[in-house]
Chain A
Amino acid sequence: MAQVQVQPRIRTNNKIRLSSGDRVFHFFNDAYLLLALLIVLYPIIYIVSSSFSSPQAVATGRVVLFPVDFSLRGYEAVFKHEGIVLGYTNTIFYTVVGTFVNVTMTVLAAYPLSRRRMPGKQIIMFLFTFTMIFSGGLIPTYILISRLKLINTRWVMIIPNAIGVFNMIICRTFFQTNIPEELVEAAQIDGCDHIRFMFEMVLPLSKPILAVIALYYSVGHWNAYFDAFIYLSNEKLFPLQIILREILVLNQIEQATIMDPQIMQARQGMSDLLKYSLIVVSSAPFMFIYPFVSKHFVKGALTGAIKG
């Protein structure tokens, strides 16, 4: 969980008293941090608490910090909602398959480009990086996708963004610095070719960076909204984010999910409660695993920032 390393500095021994000026400084410094912490944390706590409250409490705005009239009705509604369950399943599919394709394609591009002796490497590299600063734009891409008959297929969520050039560059930099040319040469002398070398040497040696880019890609897939919005109209294929937009932003909640007469009374409260629960359920997976992998995320962000 260690984040960016703390700069080595003179240890302030607690037994030695700080000067009064420094004490004032530390007071304000820590107060500022506490304020930042609360500003970020409070809305999150508020949303989680609201999601565990009763519809009435949400409707009347009685939730301030802790759940009021604890109930799980919001979550019941979420898991009864067919669209949400289907969307969740679809998103898991897009995330798992998509990330697999992403990582595979990224490695296939990054490994050759990381080798010193590959004539034409610069040109290929330029072709990749150029797409970072210029693109055909929305409409020409749309025409292409429709010509390829990818509209309303699962593939449209996976293939058009198979490689993120930024991640490819992170990966390439890692290969360059961690897989020395001498290792390849030694392997070649022993009769190992590039393809075998890639599978048996590069992949096992690059687990940390593969984890980082896999994390980046999977967050991207989980949160992806735009492509589904543009290319998918078949409800069976909708990822979670599209369903989320319908409910959270467009306010469309199927009446079928709130048929219970008791719930009908608090229909408005119920729909708001559903929204809070939905926010929690849809963001939970990454919020939950995030603390365990944050180190990798930070590492990736830094590699990217330094090279980017």
Chain B
Amino acid sequence: MAVQNEVTLYKKRSIWSRYKRDVLMNYQLYIIILLPLIWLFIFRYIPMYGVQIAFKNFQASKGILGSEWVGLYQFKKFFNNYMFEKIITNTITLSLYQMIAGFPFPIILALALNNTLYPRFKKTVQMVTYMPHFISTVVMVGIILQLVHPRIGLINNAIKALGGTPIDFMAKAKYFPSIYVWSGVWQSTGWGTIIYLAALAGIDPELHEAAVIDGASRLQRVKYVDLPGILPTIVIILILNAGNIMNVGFEKAFLLQNNLNLDTSEIIATYTYKMGLASAASDFSYASAIGFFNSVVNMILILIVNYIAKKLGEISLW
């Protein structure tokens, strides 16, 4: 017993002294990271501390600590609000639509790029389709507004040329989700191929050789070699996308919004902004509660999704 104790003591001491030595040897590492840590604390963790105003009735004069606690009042107010159902529905509709519509195109494009016999052509298509990824949201929305413009827009010119009557797309709420989603598809399909192209490049060429010897046609090789080869990537991307279902960004929806399409374009992010910062009687606590609710839901979804992805990743490894 005594010997064992001494051994564990020795081990403990040695771990401790190794730690001490590592810290002493590398103390400069802590100096180097000090500035980023201070930044992290101030700009990321102090706001988390400030989240408590979601459970309070925040008054600027009293400050965060001085304001009185109201428990779940703000949350109840939000859940009972007539807008609640609408903005949740809008948010989920928009992201589901985006997920389903935007999902197949990068895969098909990546497969097609991978199968063309002309490397130059491939590079050109890649170069051009990656480009929209770098257009800012504001410019993208500007482009959309110009293209769907009822008088001079490209789309309405085409409708007129075909003998139809121009449609004011931005003034009808029913068009908003499609405009939002399909412009997104236009902008992100090319960039989305990168990960699939990498997965395709990782497929063992011997599989293709074997398939050729067995007399497989190109189409069959796509179907039985390429597709199964990138299936794990496809599944992971799909799952990770699912984790973002309640996480629709502020900018594009807000910029595309107008009073006429508010019925489908008001989402959690834009509503939070309006409640907290835009209205004359801005209610910090109420907006914080909405934001907090959304953050928590997002976090739970991401954790679930990561868990599933990890599980599947392990399975697919075997």
Contact = CB atoms under 8 A, between A and B. Distances in A.
A37 B51 contact: no
A139 to B, nearest CB: 4
B152 A25 contact: no
A194 B29 contact: yes
18 contacts: A7-B203, A25-B115, A26-B218, A29-B115, A43-B186, A59-B152, A60-B152, A131-B40, A133-B299, A136-B47, A136-B48, A138-B287, A140-B288, A193-B28, A194-B32, A276-B146, A301-B191, A302-B195
A3 B143 CA distance: 28
Contacts of B134: 219, 223, 283, 286-287, 290
B302 A133 contact: yes
Contacts of B272: 137-139
Contacts of B22: 117-119
Interface string A31-70: 0110011011101101100000000001111000000000
B194 interface: yes
Given A36-B189, A112-B29, A136-B50, A225 B138 contact: yes
Interface residues of B, number: 107
A43 B142 CA distance: 12
Nearest to A289: B134
Contact of A139 (B205, B219, B287): B287
Interface string A88-107: 00000000000000000100
Interface stretch (A8-16, A71-79, A253-261): A8-16
Interface of B: 19, 22-23, 25-26, 28-33, 35-37, 39-40, 42-51, 53, 64, 108-109, 112-119, 121-132, 134-139, 141-143, 145-147, 149, 151-154, 157, 160, 186, 189-191, 194-195, 197-198, 200-203, 205, 208-209, 212, 217-219, 250-251, 255, 272-273, 276-277, 284, 287-288, 291-292, 294-296, 298-299, 302-303
Given A105-B36, A223-B137, A290 B131 contact: yes
A61 B208 CA distance: 51
Contacts of A84: none
Contact of B127 (A1, A39, A43, A305): A1
Contact of B35 (A10, A43, A108): A108
A302 B198 contact: yes
Contact of A143 (B50, B113, B126, B194): B50
Contacts of B190: 36, 40
A119 B22 CA distance: 7
B143 A43 contact: yes
Contacts of A46: 147, 154
**5 smallest beta-carbon distances between A and B, as pairs:** A136-B47, A248-B142, A140-B50, A137-B291, A223-B136
Nearest to A1: B123
Given A3-B122, A19-B217, A40-B128, 10 more contacts: A7-B200, A21-B219, A32-B108, A37-B125, A124-B33, A133-B298, A140-B288, A143-B64, A283-B135, A301-B194
A305 B197 CA distance: 12
Interface centre among B197, B218, B303 (most CB of A within 10 A): B218
A294 interface: yes
Given A137-B51, A282-B139, A3 B197 contact: yes
B295 A137 contact: yes
A191 interface: no
A10 to B, nearest CB: 6
Contacts of A282: 136, 139
A33 B117 contact: no
Contacts of B284: 139, 143
Contacts of A140: 46-51, 53, 288
Given A143-B64, A226-B251, A33 B217 contact: no
A283 B139 CA distance: 8
